[in-house]
Amino acid sequence: MTTSPIETAICYEDRDNFFSVILKKNSVTLTEEEMLAITKFEIQYAGVYYDSDTYPDAFDRDNVNGTLTVRPYELGLTVGSDKVELIIYDAGDYSHGLLWDQIKLKMKGDAVI
């Protein structure tokens, strides 16, 4: 689990954009083996839970680099701002879920081009 300060991600409603999280344990990026052990990712945003089983297109893992990419557009998130709690599950230690990280997510309206 990472203990870094809460970062802020900015995404735009109705745009195909994303934010990524490097998953770390004791300040070391998870190995490919550790990433493969994760059975499900879940985020909680504005009191609603969204998981990778229900929304597979919204969660993209890079096992080699220990990275999770989340696409809020695929979840239907609208304009607003709240803390995102990232929860992971695996078949061993965290079968009931573990709060892994927290990020502040700002969903904005039209992107200025």
The confidence score (pLDDT) of residue 4 equals 47
**Given this model, what pLDDT does residue 59 score?**
97
Q: How far apart are CA 108 and CA 97, in angstroms?
A: 29
pLDDT along the chain (113 residues), means of 10: 62 88 93 95 95 97 96 91 93 84 89 62
**pLDDT of 32:** 96
pLDDT score of 31: 95
Q: Decide the pairing of beta strands 38-45 and 80-90.
A: antiparallel
The total number of residues written for the chain in this structure: 113
Q: Which two tokens stand for residue 85?
A: 């709690």
Q: What is the pLDDT of residue 93?
A: 76
Q: What is the pTM of this model?
A: 0.85
User: What domains, with CATH codes, occur in the chain?
Assistant: 7-108 (2.60.40.3350)
